[in-house]
Amino acid sequence: MIYNLDKINEMAEGDEDFVLSVISVFLEEVPVDLEALEQGISSRDHNQVYQMAHKIKPSVDLLGMEQTRATALEIETLGKNEANMDEIAKKFPTLKTDILQVISELKKDFHI
């Protein structure tokens, strides 16, 4: 399992509905953001890359996905600095794989 719910559980203070709500929002929003990030890379749009990576970062952080958060931060910084898009494109598959794996695990673990 590459996610953990420690941060969410701390915020929830035992409120299972809150935990489920945060997970549901993650499952609804992050795939859309990930797709938009991929489009930004394809169209070589540094601003879109920056914005989408910036938006994804707190979501993966909330699920304790430290390595994924670090990758999102790298992509965010590269987008902001208008770095070589090929460099950004090389980092994206790791981010995508990790997020898709967690989406799958969350759906299975929470029967969603």
Q: pLDDT (tens digit, 9 = 90+) per residue, 8-67?
A: 999 999 999 999 999 999 999 999 999 999 999 999 999 999 999 999 999 999 999 999
Closest-CA residue to 58 (of 11, 111, 109): 11
Q: Is residue 105 part of a domain?
A: yes
CA angle 79, 84, 88 (to 5 degrees): 55
Rounded to a whole number of angstroms, the distance between the first and last alpha carbons of the chain is 17
- Check which CATH number belongs to the domain holding 55 and give it: 1.20.120
Q: Is residue 1 part of a domain?
A: no
> Other CB atoms closer than 10 Å to residue 104's CB: what's the count?
10
Q: Is residue 13 part of a domain?
A: yes
Q: How many domains does the chain have?
A: 1
Q: Is residue 47 part of a domain?
A: yes
Torsions phi, psi of 23, nearest 5? -65, -40
Q: Is residue 27 part of a domain?
A: yes
Residue 59 parent element (H or E): helix 46-62
Q: Is residue 55 part of a domain?
A: yes
Domain span at residue 59 reads 6-109
pTM: 0.93
